[in-house]
Amino acid sequence: MILSELTAYLAEQERASLIDLSHRFGSDPEALRGMLAILERKGRARRLPAGTTCGGCSKCDPASIEIYEWVKNTPR
């Protein structure tokens, strides 16, 4: 997986948890954190505060979920 694939996916989905991204790309969460940090520095994505719910099944503890959100109106 390359940064452009992650960028396109997050822009399309608008919001995704780290574990979902890990499953989607078959990649280690630590590797994804590094790529997400690049997108955060560029102002293209942001990590949402702990406790933010993903709006999915509600089976996970919200405090244990890392959710990233695409910052709209930024060029890909």
Assigned domain for 76 exists: no
11 assigned to some structural domain: yes
Question: Which CATH number do you get for residue 42?
Answer: 1.10.10.10
- Number of domains within the chain: 1
Instruction: Report whether 15 contacts 66 (CB < 8 A).
Output: no
Q: Is residue 59 part of a domain?
A: yes
Indicate whether 75 belongs to any domain: no
Q: How far apart are CA 15 and CA 55, in angstroms?
A: 10
Q: What is the pLDDT of residue 65?
A: 80
Asked if the structure places residue 36 within a domain, the reply is yes
User: Where in the sequence is the domain holding 32, given as residue range(s)?
Assistant: 3-70
pLDDT digits (tens, 9 = 90+) for 51-73: 666 565 555 555 558 999 999 87
Residue 13 has pLDDT above 60, yes or no: yes
Round to whole Å and give the CA distance between 51 and 67.
9
| pTM of the model as a whole | 0.81
Give per-residue pLDDT as tens, 25-50.
999 999 999 999 999 999 999 999 87
Q: Tokens standing for 21?
A: 């991204």
What percent of the chain stands above pLDDT 90? 67
What does each C-alpha distance from 45 to 28, 30, 56, 71 come to in angstroms? Answer: 19, 17, 20, 5
